[in-house]
């Protein structure tokens, strides 16, 4: 069995006509997962609801990662009818509540992984890895993976947490939030040059806890395999995390409209197998991926590898 955390409320973050980060992304994934031969092995769970009580519990954790001004701005834009954080990042009237629900889902995912000692997948939106401490950007409102990592460190027997980001875009927000924390590590494989123009190879973080692996446009799975075996795996093995969080973006697919890497859905099954060599305590959380068919099949491949 694998836990997948999802609810239809994630569809209520409306981004507008033709925006690539659209509700249909989740609908396509859910449909594909329910059509698999192993669909009965998925334990579907609802995230913790956003109530006044859960908001109170979430507040200190959210403020540990984000400025109060940023949190207030996201709320204000949303409750006042919607608008934009930047040119790429729209909010609708439900977006603030949905973004809090997404954070809850990532925290629920951490709880599931630690309770069951096996992987879980958070199927939520909006994504988060571009969100910096004091601003949202690149479709992202709150830094889900970084918040989840901070939360994990508060749990018993968790002293180190690593984040592996295989989204085609560098997670500038995640890196900026964790690079000065000695018990957190960040590793990213991303297309370069590409949005947001960050993630340079020489960056190491304050504690040698950052590894950026820029990938040239057109890179194939063979190049990714080489990067995993020569760089990603040694870096993570050396850090020795008690838990691994994967910022699971699927926009490095050949068919994705927003980038130029040539991966295919089955390749993410291979990446998952690498992760499982490190630990069974893995939280996968959805980031990018904008071609619906390849996105859905990539999530299928990821989860299928966890069930093997």
CATH classification at residue 164: 3.40.800.20
Residue 30: per-residue pLDDT: 98
Overall average pLDDT of the 216-230 stretch = 98
**Over 90: is that where the pLDDT of 128 sits?**
yes
Residues with a catalytic annotation lie at 130
Pairing between β-strand 83-86 and β-strand 89-91 as defined by DSSP bridges: antiparallel
Share of residues in the chain with pLDDT > 70 (%): 100
Among 183, 150, 179, residue whose Cα is nearest residue 64:
150
Residue 183: per-residue pLDDT: 98
pLDDT band with cut points at 50, 70 and 90 for residue 192: very high
Residue 14: per-residue pLDDT: 98
Instruction: Report which DSSP code applies to 168.
Output: S
**Over 90: is that where the pLDDT of 218 sits?**
yes
User: Which helix or strand (DSSP H or E) is residue 107 part of?
Assistant: helix 95-116
pLDDT tens, residue by residue, 82-124: 999 999 999 999 999 999 999 999 999 999 999 999 999 999 9
Adjacent-strand bridge partners of 189: 213
> Domain tally for the chain?
1
User: Residue 93: is it exposed, middle or buried by C-beta count within 10 angstroms (0-12/13-18/19+)?
Assistant: middle
How far, in Å, CA of 218 to CA of 153, rounded? Answer: 37
Residue 189: per-residue pLDDT: 98
Among 166, 160, 279, residue whose Cα is nearest residue 209:
160
pLDDT band with cut points at 50, 70 and 90 for residue 308: confident
Cβ atoms of residues 274 and 230 within 8 Å: no
User: Which helix or strand (DSSP H or E) is residue 200 part of?
Assistant: none
Residue 40: per-residue pLDDT: 98
How far is C-alpha 44 from the geometric centre of its chain's CA atoms? Answer: 18
How far is C-alpha 213 from the geometric centre of its chain's CA atoms? Answer: 17
Overall average pLDDT of the 6-16 stretch = 98
**Over 90: is that where the pLDDT of 247 sits?**
yes
- The domain of 186 spans 2-307
Residue 299: per-residue pLDDT: 99
How high is the mean pLDDT of the chain?
98
**Over 90: is that where the pLDDT of 303 sits?**
yes
For the beta carbon of residue 232, count every other beta carbon within 10 angstroms: 23
Among 212, 211, 167, 149, residue whose Cα is nearest residue 302:
167
Secondary structure of residue 187 in the 3-state scheme: strand
CA dihedral sign of residues 107, 111, 117, 118? negative
Residue 290, token pair as written in the block:
């904008």
């Amino acid at each position: 069995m694998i836990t997948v955390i999802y609810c239809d409320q994630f569809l209520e973050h409306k981004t507008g006509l033709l925006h690539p980060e659209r509700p249909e992304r989740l609908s396509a994934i859910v449909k594909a997962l329910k059509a698999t031969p192993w669909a009965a092995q998925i334990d579907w769970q609802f995230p913790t609801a956003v109530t006044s009580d859960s908001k109170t519990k979430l507040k200190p954790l959210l403020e540990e990662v984000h400025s109060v001004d940023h949190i207030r701005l996201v709320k204000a834009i949303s409750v006042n009818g919607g608008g934009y954080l930047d040119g790429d990042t729209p909010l609708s009237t439900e977006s603030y509540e949905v973004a809090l629900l997404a954070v809850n889902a990532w925290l629920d995912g951490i709880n599931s992984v630690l309770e069951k000692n096996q992987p879980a997948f958070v199927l939520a939106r909006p994504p988060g890895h571009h969100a910096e401490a004091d601003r949202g950007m690149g479709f992202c409102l709150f830094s889900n993976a970084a918040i989840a990592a901070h939360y994990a460190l508060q749990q018993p027997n968790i002293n180190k947490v690593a984040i592996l980001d295989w989204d085609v875009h560098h997670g500038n927000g995640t890196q900026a939030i964790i690079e000065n924390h000695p018990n957190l590590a960040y590793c990213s494989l991303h297309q370069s040059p590409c949005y947001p123009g960050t993630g340079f190879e020489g960056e190491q973080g304050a504690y040698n806890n950052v590894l950026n692996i820029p990938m040239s446009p057109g890179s194939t799975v063979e190049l990714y395999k080489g990067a995993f075996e020569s760089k990603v795996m040694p870096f993570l093995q050396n850090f020795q995390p008690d838990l691994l969080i994967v910022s699971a973006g699927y926009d490095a697919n050949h068919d994705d409209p927003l980038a130029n890497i040539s991966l295919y859905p089955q390749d993410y099954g291979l990446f998952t197998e690498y992760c499982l060599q490190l630990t069974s305590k893995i939280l996968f959380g959805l980031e990018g991926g904008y071609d619906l068919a390849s996105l859905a099949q990539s999530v299928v491949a990821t989860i299928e590898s966890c069930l093997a």
